Amino acid sequence: MKKLFYLLLTILLQVSIVSGQNTFKKLTITHLTDSFYVYTTYGFANGQPFPANSMYLITEKGVVMFDTPWDSTQFQPLLDSILQRHHKQVVLCIATHFHSDRTAGLTFLRSRGIPTWSSKLTYDLCAQRNEPQAQFFFGSDTAFNVGGYLFETYYAGPGHSPDNLVIWFSRNKIIYGGCLVKSKENNSVGNIEDANLVEWPKSIRKVMKKFPNRKFVVPGHMSWANGSLEHTLKLLRIYNKNHA
Q: What amino acid positions are annotated as catalytic residues?
A: 97, 99, 101, 160, 191
Distance CA 64, CA 166 (A): 15
Distance CA 80, CA 25 (A): 16
Report the interhelical angle of 199-210 vs 228-242 (nearest 10°): 160
Q: What strand order describes the sheet that includes 36-45?
A: 27-33, 36-45, 48-59, 62-66, 90-94, 116-119, 136-138
Q: Which of 137, 143, 104, 139 is nearest to 118 (CA)?
A: 137
Distance CA 44, CA 21 (A): 10
116, 134 in Cβ contact below 8 A? yes
How many CA atoms are closer than 13 Å to the CA of 28, on its beta-carbon side? 13
Distance CA 104, CA 132 (A): 6
